[in-house]
Each structure stands twice: as structure tokens, then as C-alpha cells.
Structure 1
Amino acid sequence: MYPTVDPLAPSGISRRSFFRFAAGASALASLPIVTEAHLAYADRPKFADPNKGIHIDANENPMGPSEGARQAIVNIVPRGGRYLFNGEAELVEIFAKQEGLSVESIAPFAGSSEPLHYTVLAFTSKDRPLVVADPGYEAPMWAAKVSGAQILKVPLADPKGEAKHDVRAMLAAASNAGVIYICNPNNPTGTCTPRSDIEYVVANAPKDAVVLIDEAYIHLCDAPRSLDFVKEGKNVIVLRTFSKLYGMAGIRMGFAVGRPDLLAKITAFGGMNALPVTAVAAAKASLLDADLVPTRKKIVADTRVETIAWLKSQGFATTPSESNCFMLDVRKPGKEVQAALAAKDMYVGRIWPAWPNSLRITVGTPDEMAAFRKDFTAVMGSNTAGLAPPELPRRLQRTPFTHLS
């Protein structure tokens, strides 16, 4: 029998610390829709003034909205007294034309957290479990607790190398899965799962199971996209957001992309509500800026590569990220290093129990990462410089999946 694990455990969040987000909540059914912001804030060692210190703990984009998106917000504000539903329709049409999709296969939301939550609610139950990677993004598990679904956590394959989803193990975990969740690139490792592996999951998933592919970070990498599965009519829902590369985490805009019948089941739980006209305007401007994605992708990649190369030169191993975050093995309890950095107002990401000696680091601006290197050196000391990067422990390279109920 697999051990029962507290669903709050994946990021070390205590019930008390998390429920400050759900004031008055008295039952699992009243839990909020969990976002990266909730999880990052709940795991900070102490209260942090967002205007003080450096925050590289929530996978945010410090560049913020593009200049065109900012101007679009300014321009639309005088019309903010109107609902302007036509703006949403125009946004969907732009995205559909760019990606070769039908407008009926796109549902706009305030970010991608809502459709992620609703997809799990719609397609999992006490008889249809949720299958996720470990370490992976924890939000789907919160929704599964609401639906009463079992949660099967499958270790990533080859953590000392690619740290990709072990798709065959995920399929073997349950013959009656309701949702198989793949975050690509993965949060927290920043690593990509090969297209061939994703194709294998889609082709071999249990009947009526939905493969939920979260592409929140897809613009930051060269991995093939997954929207073609929707065009082919597969049991696939793809999530997109403007929170990451587009720098609109606080503005909230995203899409769920899937067959119309699948979208109808998730929008029954919520969504299709009028979206903020400011978010719609900013998203339209972002999509129409042809240079935005390649320009920002290069900025993030250059900063990530420089940071990881420096860490390697100091003897520390990281995951081979292609995103705006990576896992850093600090070779001691990660909580200790996280707290020591927080004492210097340097806030880094949380720890996953599967890799207790690793921290998730968000790629900030070049100046922020320079400050991180300085503080990290001070915290870790100089005696580690020049050491060869260690391999991750063998026990992390292959462990059975964990069953949560």
C-alpha cells in the first residue's frame, strides 16, 4: 500500500500558513483556486515586503508587460465603464488565426489557474484519479482534493540528466486516470519533456482520460507545442497564459484550448465571465508584437545560462532548464539555505519533499541574479568553490510513485 501524504506537503506548506489565503474557509470545497502566487507566498520564511528585497521565488517576469501592452492599458482605461465583450472576441480571433485554431476551441480566462482547476474538477473523481509528476506544479492536487480524487505522484525520469516526465510510469500508475497532467516545460525544474513522450501519452491514455498539458512556460523554450493535438480532436486540453514571458502575472489573462465538448465541461464550473478590459487590451497588444517572444526569450535564456554556468563553476548542480526557473542542489536541507537568504532579503523558491536539498530559483533580471550570486556566496561560504558538480543521489533517480488519497 502506498503511503497517504498530506496534499499540502508538496511544497512544505502547513495548513495554518496556507489558510491565511482562505479566510473563513471551513471545508475543502471552499478552498481557493491555487496559483503560483499562493504557493510562493505561503512558503516564504517570513513576511516579505514586495517593495523590499529581491524576489526570485514565484516564477514572475520582472520585465512586466511590454511597452505596447502598457500603452494599450492606458488607452482602454477611459472605456473601463463598459463591458466591451467584443474585445474578448477579437482577442480569441487573433490567437485562433495565429495558431490555426477554431475560435470554438478557445476559452479565455483570467490566467490559466482557473481552467487548470476546473479541468481537474470536471474529469477526476473518487473513481478517476489525477496523475502528476514529482516534483511538479502542485496546484492540480488541490483541485483533486475538492473532487475527492486520488492523487498519484510519479517521480521524474532521470533527475540527474533530463528530469523529464516519466510518461510510461505515469500511464502505468492508473488504468482509470481521469486527468494526466503534464507541465511542459516543467515547474519547478524548467526541463522539457520530449515531444515523442507526449505523443505516447496522448496515444495511450486510458479511455476518456484528459491529458492536460500546461504550457505556461512554452514561449521560453524551443520544445514543440501541443496545440495540434486539439486540432486533431484528441482528449487534450492545453493551457496558455500571459503570466510568464508576457509579464502579465498580476494582470491575469490566459486560454484553455480543447475540443468544444471538453471546454463546455470545464466552463460549467466557472469562466466565460467578463474579463477585465485592461487584461484583454494588454493581451491583444502582446500577441500582435512579433518581436516580443524572441526578444524576451533570449534575455531570459542569456541570464539563465550565465547563472547556471556560475553555479556550476562553484560546484553546484542544477537541472538543465529551458525555462525561467531551475532547481538548485544546495547539498544540505534547502530550508536552511532559503531562510539564510531570506535574512538578506533575497527570496528564493520553495522546496519539494522529493528533492529536500534543492531550491527552485526563478530567473530574474541580470542585476537581480548578480545580487543572488553575491548573497549565495555569503550564505554558502567560499569553501565550495571549484568543487565538481555532484550527481543527485541515487534514491532520487528512481523511486516508486506515491499515492495520495
Structure 2
Amino acid sequence: MLSPLTPAYDSILELAPYQTGKPVEELKREYGVSDVVKLASNENPLGCSPHVTLAITEQLGQLARYPDGNGYYLKQALADFNNISAKCITLGNGSDDLLDILARSFVGSDDVIVYSQYAFIVYSMLAKMQGATDIEVPTQRFGHDLAAMRQAVEDNPKTKMVFIANPNNPTGTMLEHKALREFVASMPASVLVVLDEAYIEYSPESNNRALLDEFDNVVIVRTFSKAYGLAGLRVGYALSSPAVADLLNRIRQPFNVSRIALAAAEAALTDQDFIEKTRVSNLEQMRWLEKQFDALGLAFIKSHANFIMVEIEDAVAINQALLEQGVIVRPLAGYGLSDWLRVTVGVAEDNLRLIDTLHSILNDD
């Protein structure tokens, strides 16, 4: 018997709430720890550009006013930055919002979504929310196996969307331009290839903007939450053909990006010196962490983002021990990687705290 609580699709009942990185405040409450280091959510440990602070301050007297629902000035800034028409841009409340808008715009219950094993967990969630079939393709050395993904599309003619994270979260692997272009060229025009470039600033060579000039069935999704340091404001954008952008802008919620977020993102985009500083700092600290993991005898996956996936025996217990000592990292059991932890690259002080704590825990064992 149907009731108001009957979901639109049975697959919704298979969904579990998305597990975010444990907040600092929650850890303090649970364990009574006052000095906490958070290396779990791939946030920028340097914060954000000082240009952002000024832009936010200038908006404080306008909080009673709705934002520009079209985001005109941010779109223009993004158009100039990406050498693309503003008609090709869709703004979102973070990149997750854009991924959701894409699924709701193009994927029906009879359709198929293809994505890689060990890719962003939200992709499978979107399929279930739409009542669609999701096909998870096994990885090749923890990265996207494009040949296998191509075969999956051929085997499933109802495929409507393919998600590719590049660099990938949580593994940090990256695809080469040539291989990715060949994959896109092999896709039927009816299949939308969504490139999730949330970490592009850490590996500028992963920029696949040029594909938009050649293929109408490519969408690139990016965010201001990572390198730009605006995770707390939630703003992202999608680049696509004008036709795709037109559909996305019909589906997205009015005023889905706040006044403060619009101003902050526009200001952040102007300070590419800060992005370069972020990239250099991240690379230096990542190389240091790699040396420390080597010294501890821990295997890791070479990363092109701002985190490192580390293999560690009894990762669940190690993660718990780290929490008890005020260090937050990200366990990956939800990805089927029960022997791995994902560590955000922090500033030198935070990374040293992590390694010292980890060394102490491992020696006690």
C-alpha cells in the first residue's frame, strides 16, 4: 500500500547519508580534545585570498537583498578566465549542486550512469536518486580504466552519463589529455561526459577546457571549495555547450549562489598569485609527507591533488587512535578501501603533528 512516505524510486532506500569529514567542533565535544588538526576534507590550509575578505566585508550591508540570480559579474569573470562565452556557464551551490542538476536534467529511471570504482561516491548516489542504473567499472592501478569504461558504455546502450573525476578523489590519480580525448571521441553523441575537475588548480596540466571546443557532449565541473579556500561559502561552476547550459539553468534553483559567495568567488578568481602560492605550498608539503610515509613503511598512491591516500594495516583502529589524539583524517571504508586513509596535505605544523602522532601510534602497536 502506498503512503506519503513511499519514495519515488526504490533505489532511494538504498542511499545512506553522505558521510562528511568529522567537524573539529564535534571531535572536541566527543573526546574533550582542545588542540585539533583537521586533515580530512581537502580544504585549503592557507585559507583564502585577502581579496575575498574585503569582498565579503563590502557585502555585509546588503544581506537583506537577494543576490543576482544570474550571477552576471561572476559569470563574466569566469568567461574571461576560461576564454569561453558566459552562455556556456552554469553556477552552483558548490560543485555537488551542479552534479545533482546535471543528473536531474538528463538522467531518467530507464537510463544508465557509468563511473569508476574508487571515484567520488556522490556519482553512485546520483544514480540512485534518479532511480537509474549505475555501472561501477573496476579501476586500473587505482585510476580510471578508460578502455573498460568505454566497453561498459558499449554494453549498456541506455548509458546517458559518464562521470570522470580528474584528478580523482580519493585516489589522486590523473588521466593524460590524449587518452581522455580519445575516450570522449569514442562516446556516442547521446552520452554526456562529465569531467569533475575539483582539484584542477593543484595540477593545471589536467585542464581539459579545450575539449569543449570540439565536443558538445562534454561538461566540465569545477569548484571554489578547494584551492580557492571557499568551502564554507559553497560555490562552483560548470562549463558546457550553450545548449547544455540553457537546460541546466532551467533546472537550477533561483538564487542558488548567495550574494556573499558570488562576490567572494569573483574576488578569489582575481588573485591567481594566491593560487600559485597554494599550489607550491601543497607540492612542497606533499613531497615531505611522502618521505615520512616511506620512512614509516607505509605505501601510498602518488597524488595530483591536495591529499594522499595511504595504505595502513588496521586503518579503522588507527583512525580511531588519531581521533583520540585530536588528528582528523578520512577513513575510506565507504569506498571499499578499508585498509586506506586519505590525508589532506596541511601546512608544515599540521603535517608534523600528524606524522608524530602516527609514529607514536604505530610504535605503541
TM-score bracket relative to the smaller structure: 0.7 to 0.9
CA offsets 1:84-123 (integer angstroms, 9 cap, x no match): 5299211111110121100100011121111111212333
CA separation of 1:246/1:26 partners in 2, compared to 1, >3 Å: closer, same or farther? farther
Hey, what does 1:48 align to over in structure 2?
27
Correspondence 1:342 to 2:323: yes
SS of alignment partner, residue 78 of structure 2: helix
Aligned to 2:64, which of 63, 74, 81? 81
Between the aligned partners of 2:112 and 2:136, the Cα distance in structure 1 is 11
Deviation at residue 270 of structure 1 after TM alignment:
2.2
Contact 1:137–1:186 under 8 Å retained in 2: yes
- Calculate the aligned-residue CA RMSD, in Å: 2.6
Contact 1:109–1:255 under 8 Å retained in 2: yes
Between the aligned partners of 2:104 and 2:69, the Cα distance in structure 1 is 29
For 1:357, give the aligned amino acid.
Answer: D
Question: Runs ≥4 in structure 1, deviation > 4 angstroms?
Answer: 28-31
For 2:271, give the aligned amino acid.
Answer: D
CA separation of 1:382/1:206 partners in 2, compared to 1, >3 Å: closer, same or farther? farther
Deviation at residue 272 of structure 1 after TM alignment:
4.7
Contact 1:107–1:255 under 8 Å retained in 2: yes
Deviation at residue 179 of structure 1 after TM alignment:
1.1
CA separation of 1:86/1:262 partners in 2, compared to 1, >3 Å: closer, same or farther? closer
TM-score, with length taken from structure 1: 0.80
CA offsets 1:144-202 (integer angstroms, 9 cap, x no match): 10111111112221x2xxx4211110111132221111111110011211111211221
The 5 Å alignment of 1:1-400 reads: 27=7, 38-41=18-21, 47-49=26-28, 53-85=36-68, 88-157=71-140, 159=141, 163-175=142-154, 176=157, 177-273=159-255, 275-330=257-312, 332-352=313-333, 353-381=335-363
Contact 1:137–1:183 under 8 Å retained in 2: yes
Mean Cα displacement is larger for which, 234-243 or 286-295?
A: 286-295
**Unpaired segments of 5 or more residues in structure 1?**
1-23, 384-405
Deviation at residue 135 of structure 1 after TM alignment:
0.8
Between the aligned partners of 2:123 and 2:39, the Cα distance in structure 1 is 23
Between the aligned partners of 1:380 and 1:40, the Cα distance in structure 2 is 26
CA separation of 1:26/1:380 partners in 2, compared to 1, >3 Å: closer, same or farther? farther
Between the aligned partners of 2:326 and 2:71, the Cα distance in structure 1 is 40
Between the aligned partners of 1:147 and 1:92, the Cα distance in structure 2 is 29
Contact 1:92–1:103 under 8 Å retained in 2: yes
SS of alignment partner, residue 255 of structure 1: strand
For 2:319, give the aligned amino acid.
Answer: Q
Deviation at residue 369 of structure 1 after TM alignment:
0.8
Deviation at residue 333 of structure 1 after TM alignment:
3.2
Between the aligned partners of 1:28 and 1:323, the Cα distance in structure 2 is 37
SS of alignment partner, residue 353 of structure 2: helix
For 2:55, give the aligned amino acid.
Answer: A
Q: Percent identity?
A: 25
SS of alignment partner, residue 216 of structure 1: coil
Deviation at residue 228 of structure 1 after TM alignment:
1.8
Between the aligned partners of 2:69 and 2:277, the Cα distance in structure 1 is 30
Between the aligned partners of 2:359 and 2:254, the Cα distance in structure 1 is 48
Deviation at residue 382 of structure 1 after TM alignment:
7.3
Contact 1:101–1:231 under 8 Å retained in 2: no
CA separation of 1:127/1:174 partners in 2, compared to 1, >3 Å: closer, same or farther? farther
Between the aligned partners of 2:228 and 2:272, the Cα distance in structure 1 is 12
SS of alignment partner, residue 243 of structure 1: coil
**Unpaired segments of 5 or more residues in structure 2?**
none
Contact 1:242–1:283 under 8 Å retained in 2: yes
Deviation at residue 28 of structure 1 after TM alignment:
6.8
Between the aligned partners of 2:289 and 2:197, the Cα distance in structure 1 is 24
CA separation of 1:269/1:85 partners in 2, compared to 1, >3 Å: closer, same or farther? closer
Between the aligned partners of 2:352 and 2:338, the Cα distance in structure 1 is 25
Contact 1:28–1:145 under 8 Å retained in 2: no
CA offsets 1:240-288 (integer angstroms, 9 cap, x no match): 1100000000111110111122123333432352521111111111111
Contact 2:166–2:206 under 8 Å retained in 1: no
Between the aligned partners of 1:70 and 1:39, the Cα distance in structure 2 is 29
CA offsets 1:109-140 (integer angstroms, 9 cap, x no match): 12111111121233333432111111111012
SS of alignment partner, residue 62 of structure 1: coil
What is the count of residue pairs matched by the alignment?
A: 349
Between the aligned partners of 1:61 and 1:28, the Cα distance in structure 2 is 38
Contact 2:218–2:240 under 8 Å retained in 1: yes
Between the aligned partners of 2:138 and 2:149, the Cα distance in structure 1 is 9
CA separation of 1:327/1:86 partners in 2, compared to 1, >3 Å: closer, same or farther? closer
Contact 2:74–2:262 under 8 Å retained in 1: yes
SS of alignment partner, residue 300 of structure 2: coil
Bigger fraction of residues in helix: 2
Mean Cα displacement is larger for which, 250-259 or 198-207?
A: 198-207
CA separation of 1:84/1:338 partners in 2, compared to 1, >3 Å: closer, same or farther? closer
